[in-house]
Amino acid sequence: MIKLILADDHTLIREGLKALLKEENSIEIVGEARSTEELISMLDANEADVVLLDFSMPLQQAYENIRSIYERFPNVKILVLSPAYNEENIAQIFKEGAIGYIHQNSERDELIYAIHTVNKGNKFISPFISLNLLEKVERPGNGFNFEYDSSSKSRVDISNREKEVLMLIAQGYTNAEIADKLFTSKRTIESHRKNLIDKTKTKNTASLIRYAFTNGILSD
């Protein structure tokens, strides 16, 4: 049984999360915190495996909260819940000690999977965000530096079908799996993938995904 603490200052969000997790027998909500102070006090008094932590606050305060929790309770896994995303902010979240990031638009199954993943000590990030980012994120002090040229943003002519394929690529599906989901052939998907790489002038799938999110193709 995974012992989970919900840390969010919005009552409706906490209630919504509890409703989503109510029927999940593998997760037990052992506490609810409305502030960092309450959370720290709760962690002092209760054993917890995972903290689902709200990130809808000023960035510096959010980073400091994550750092404080990680330094005081290094064995507790921090899963950040956020209504928005930015690659540089996500990178900093991981640097401060969080092990997972999930977007508020995620489905129930993804939330449960995220909790189980971070509980095992594995990193998690919502799949529609560039999966390549996980490979670049390190713990504090390991010299992580995420860079991209935001001045080079551009648009390319991508069809709705290509955008569907691109979204599934970003979620980590193989050509065969995408073909099954879109009821087409593997060869057709391979063609779409090649066309996307050619259109964006990227070198491989990882750079294609990064290009897509940097240029807003998958965030419109």
Convert the pLDDT of each residue in 7-40 to its tens digit.
988 888 889 999 989 888 999 999 999 888 899 9
Task: For domain 151-214, give its CATH number from 2.40.30.160, 1.20.1300.10, 1.10.10.10, 1.20.120.80.
Answer: 1.10.10.10
Measured distance CA(24)–CA(35) in Å, rounded: 25
Is the pLDDT score of 131 beyond 70? no
- Average pLDDT, whole number, for the chain? 81
For the domain spanning 2-136, the CATH number is 3.40.50.2300
Q: Please determine whether the domains at 2-136 and 151-214 fall in the same fold group of CATH.
A: no
Question: Three-state SS string across 40-76, please?
Answer: HHHHHHCCCCEEEEECCCCHHHHHHHHHHHHHHCCCC
Is the pLDDT score of 216 beyond 90? no
Helix axis angle, 205-214 to 186-200, nearest 10°: 60
pLDDT category of residue 138 using cuts at 50, 70 and 90: very low
Pairing relationship of beta strands 50-54 and 100-103 according to DSSP bridges: unpaired
Is the pLDDT score of 113 beyond 80? yes
The percent of residues in the chain predicted with pLDDT above 90, rounded, is 26
Q: Which residue do the tokens 């259109």 mark?
A: 199
pLDDT at 141: 45
Sorted by where each begins, the domain ranges of the chain are 2-136, 151-214
76 vs 128, which has greater pLDDT?
A: 76
The kind and range of the H/E element at 156 are none
Is the pLDDT score of 152 beyond 50? no
pLDDT category of residue 50 using cuts at 50, 70 and 90: very high
Q: What is the mean pLDDT of residues 65-91?
A: 86
Token pair of 134, please?
Answer: 């996980």
Is the pLDDT score of 145 beyond 60? no
pLDDT at 4: 96
83 vs 137, which has greater pLDDT?
A: 83
